[in-house]
Amino acid sequence: MQTTVNIALFSGERIEMTLTPVQAGILLTFLTVMNNLHDGETNAIECISHFALFAAFIALVMMGLV
């Protein structure tokens, strides 16, 4: 990583470290799953967080962004 930064700075290139909407959604989903399943039990609040992620995904699909 540091080598890439040094080469970019030396050559005057711009460094872009961004996530696409799909990558950000997958990352958010994995973080939510890790948080919810770390103790082996789930509850209604954790269920709602998964439902909200699913609803956001459906909204992105309907808007044509995914």
Say what the pLDDT of residue 1 is. 58
pLDDT surpassing 80 at residue 52: yes
DSSP string, 36-60: HHTTS---HHHHHHHHHHHHHHHHH
Percent of the chain whose predicted confidence (pLDDT) is above 90: 0
Dihedral sign for Cα atoms in the order 28, 29, 30, 34: positive
Domain boundaries, the chain: 18-63
**pTM, 2 dp:** 0.54
As a whole number of angstroms, the distance between CA 13 and CA 57 comes to 34
Amino acid identity of 9? Answer: L
Confidence band for 66, pLDDT divided at 50, 70 and 90: low
Q: Please say whether the beta carbons of 65 and 55 come within 8 A.
A: no
What tens digit of pLDDT does each residue of 3-31 get? 777 787 788 777 777 778 778 888 888 88
Which residues touch 8 (CB under 8 Å, ≥6 apart)?
A: 14, 15
